[in-house]
Structures are given as C-alpha cells and as structure tokens.
C-alpha cells in the first residue's frame, strides 16, 4: 500500500525522524502512528499502530508499521507500508508546474508574433512568407526551408530556391496563400511586388491583429488555469496547505500579468505598423 499523505507520529520517547539518510533505521521505541489515507480503491482507511522501521531518499519517506486498519468499520490487523512526500519532492513538483507554465507562455508569445509577422503591411518583410507551405516531392514543406528570401527594396521580395525545379511549386503555393500577392517567375527566381494597402484594408488588418492578440491572452489565461489546477491537486494530496496555494497563485498571477503586458506591447507595435501609411 503506497500512498502520499501527512502522518501524525506519537513517540513513546523522544526520537528524531530526519530524512537525511537513505539507510533503513529500526525504531526500537516502536512509536505510535496515526494516519488516514486512501487505498488503491479510493476507500478511506484509518491506520493506527506501531512503527517498525523507516527509510528515506531524496524523493520520499517510507514507513513500515504493524497496524490496526479500519476499513468501512471493519478492523483488520496487518503490516502497512506508507509512502510520504518529502519537502524535496514537493518543491520539485512546484518547480515543474512553474517551469511548464512559463515555457507554455513563451510559446504563446511566439505564436502571436508569428501570426503578426505573416500579416503584410505594405512594407516587404521575409516573415510574410513564414506560413507558406510548398508541395515538394510529395510532402508539404515550409517555403523558407527550400528557398532564400530577401528584400531588394521596401516594396518587393525575392525568392531564390535552392532547387530550381521547385519554382513552379513555390509559385503555386504563393498564389494559393491568403497573402494576395502575384508572383513573377522568370525561371531563375520569383519576385513579389508588395502593393500599398488601402485605408479600408488597413482597418481590416488592424481588427485581425487585435483578434490575434486577444487569442494570445486567452491562451495565457488557460495556462494559468491549468497551473492553478495542478496546485489544487497538490493541496488535495496534502502536499501543500491552503496558504501555500494562495501564495503560489499570487506569484502565478504576477507571471500572467507580465506576459499579458508583453502581448499588449507587441500588439501596439503591430497596430501602429499596420495603420501607418
């Protein structure tokens, strides 16, 4: 029976149970232990008995006890092994939750930036072609992996494929994209002229940028929600107290606010770029 729980240990005489060593120690005094835990069938079990031995490692403490176990009102005599979470294990789980949340928030920012870069603003930018997929030898590949993209001037793009036989496939992919660009294929390279945006088109793009920024914020909020659920799970497992969860939630909110501000910053920059003639 291996369960994570908090134990109340009643000693017959003073004894230290510091988990600083990984060796097994016998407790001659046979202290009394009292615990409540869930068995593998999710049944609440009350355990009382004499501690026979204990051992520890960097991740857990294991207690062996000769005990009286009451399951649904029935008393049973048996030996039990109880696995208890240590501070090191709890800190490791907290660290992984925080690390995972931050990594996912970074990816959310990258996704917003990628969406912004794919929106043309009247100025040539190689990132405009980041999402163009080309059918190359039967498989879809990203355009920038099979061609060099440059900006000869502020109103045109030059696409030079590493394999000239892919020119027609690249041309077709650009035409079928939602960029609204007409490629010029001279048999060596593809040239793209970036037309100036109308006032109405700039307003439309501004709305698209605003929507993409809000989608990024929703993703950040969902990441925060998932992290809070993970903290709540640790609280239910008695690895964190209610105060611990409140403190961690405050720190998580600060991280969330930080990434929200990042989205606001890149949104304002993109909006200004879209609306500037």
The domains found in the chain, sorted by start residue, are 8-85 (no CATH), 90-117+198-275 (1.10.132.20), 139-193 (3.30.1360.40)
* Cα–Cα dist 113/107, whole Å: 10
pLDDT over 70 at 101, yes or no: yes
- pLDDT tens-digit map of 27-45: 333 444 444 444 444 333 4
**Tokens in use for 198?**
């109308």
What pTM was computed for the model? 0.59
Alpha-carbon distance of 240 to 89, in angstroms, equals: 11
- Pick 155 or 109 by higher pLDDT: 109
DSSP structure class, residue 77: E
**220 three-class SS:** helix
Tokens of 143: 């355009």
Q: How many C-beta neighbours within 10 Å does residue 57 have?
A: 13
pLDDT in tens, 191-248: 998 888 888 888 888 999 999 999 999 999 999 999 999 999 888 888 888 888 888 8
CB 95 within 8 A of CB 210: no
**Is it the case that residue 53 has pLDDT exceeding 60?**
no
User: E-strand spans in the chain?
Assistant: 8-10, 25-26, 32-38, 44-56, 60-71, 74-85, 133-136, 139-142, 147-153, 156-161, 183-185, 190-193
C-alpha to C-alpha distance for 66 and 49, rounded to whole angstroms? 6
| Cα 30 from Cα 168, distance rounded (Å) | 82
pLDDT of 109 over the 60 cut: yes
CA distance 209 to 202: 10
Position 84 scores a pLDDT of 53
According to DSSP, the residues that pair with 229 across neighbouring strands are none
Instruction: Tell me how far apart the alpha carbons of residues 209 and 219 are, in angstroms, rounded to a whole number.
Output: 15
Q: φ and ψ at 17, to 5 degrees? A: -115, 45
**How far, in whole angstroms, is CA 31 from its chain's centroid?**
44
Residue 28: its pLDDT value, please?
34
Range with lowest mean pLDDT among 75-84, 144-153, 197-206, 246-255: 75-84
pLDDT over 90 (residue 102): yes
Is 79's pLDDT higher than 80? no
**What does DSSP say about strands 8-10 and 32-38: parallel, antiparallel, or unpaired?**
antiparallel
Residues 112-130: tens digit of each pLDDT: 998 888 787 767 788 888 8
Low-confidence winner among 31-45, 94-108, 116-130, 140-154 (lowest mean pLDDT): 31-45
Taking alpha carbons only, the member of 211, 207, 206, 174 closest to residue 189 is 174
Token pair listed for 257: 């606010």
């Amino acid at each position: 029976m291996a369960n994570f729980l908090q134990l109340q240990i009643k000693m017959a005489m003073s004894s230290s149970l510091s988990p600083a060593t990984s060796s097994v120690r016998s407790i001659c005094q046979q202290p009394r232990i009292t615990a409540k835990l869930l068995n593998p069938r999710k049944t609440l079990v009350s355990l009382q008995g004499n501690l026979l031995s204990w051992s520890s490692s960097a991740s857990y403490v294991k207690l062996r006890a000769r005990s009286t176990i009451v399951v649904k009102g029935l008393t049973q005599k048996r030996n039990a092994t109880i696995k208890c979470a240590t501070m090191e294990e709890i800190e490791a789980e907290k660290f992984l939750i925080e690390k995972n949340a931050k990594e996912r928030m970074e990816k959310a920012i990258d996704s917003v930036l990628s969406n912004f870069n794919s929106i043309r603003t009247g100025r040539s930018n190689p990132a405009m072609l980041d999402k163009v997929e080309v059918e190359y030898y039967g498989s879809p590949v990203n355009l920038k992996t099979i061609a060099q993209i440059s900006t000869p001037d502020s109103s045109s793009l030059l696409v030079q494929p590493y394999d000239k036989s892919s020119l027609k496939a690249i041309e077709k992919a650009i035409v079928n994209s939602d960029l609204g660009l007409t490629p010029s294929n001279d048999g060596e390279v593809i040239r793209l002229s970036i037309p100036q945006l109308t006032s109405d088109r700039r307003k439309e793009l501004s709305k698209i940028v605003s929507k993409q920024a809000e989608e990024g914020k929703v993703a950040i909020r969902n990441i925060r929600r998932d992290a809070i659920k993970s903290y709540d799970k640790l609280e239910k497992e008695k690895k964190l107290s209610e105060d611990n969860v409140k403190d961690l939630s405050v720190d998580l909110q600060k991280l969330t606010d930080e990434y929200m501000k990042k989205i606001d910053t890149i949104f304002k920059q993109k909006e200004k770029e879209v609306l500037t003639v």
